[in-house]
Amino acid sequence: MEAQQKVYEKLTAMGIKYEVINHPAVYTIEEMENLGITDKVEVCKNLFVRDAKGKKHYLIILRNDKRADLSNIAAQIGSTKLSFASEERLERYLRLKKGAVSPLGIINDAAHEVEVVFDKDLVGKANLGVHPNDNTATVVLSYEDLKRVVFENGNEITFVNI
């Protein structure tokens, strides 16, 4: 609950309108579909990855119905080979646990070390669903507001075609 509260306080302080859908803990998009959450909002898939040397970290945000081709994304962002980052790195950089990866985790990245990579198909969407840094709820907000959270935190933003 503490992680969620920090998110809600941040969004409120920024004047961002949002809705919260509480639900049992979910770990996959399929579980969210089974609960009917994807019928109400466009839930985002979020991938935390690193480059070949582990020096750069990226949070990739895409539509839940897409598959991320990490080779293609690496080429678009000018990175070496991408692979999934460890749970330890997820905790160190975003203070998140496996299953709760969220673009809102960026508020925990005080050093602005994680680059956020948005799928261009998310641009302009009014109702995106992301975890509030805990997988027992989904926050619904607009793409513009989500991008604003990332931008105002000071993290670099890149756009790709997925």
* Domains along the sequence of the chain with CATH: 2-160 (3.90.960.10)
Please report the pLDDT score of residue 1 as a whole number: 64
d(CA 3, CA 25): 14
Mean pLDDT of 132-146: 96
Distance CA 76, CA 104 (A): 23
How many Å apart are CA 35 and CA 41, to the nearest integer? 12
Whether the predicted pLDDT of 98 surpasses 90: no
Judged against a pLDDT cut of 90, whether residue 103 lies above it is answered with yes
Taking only the tens place, the pLDDT of each residue in 30-58 is: 899 999 998 889 999 999 999 999 999 99
Q: What is the mean pLDDT of the chain?
A: 95
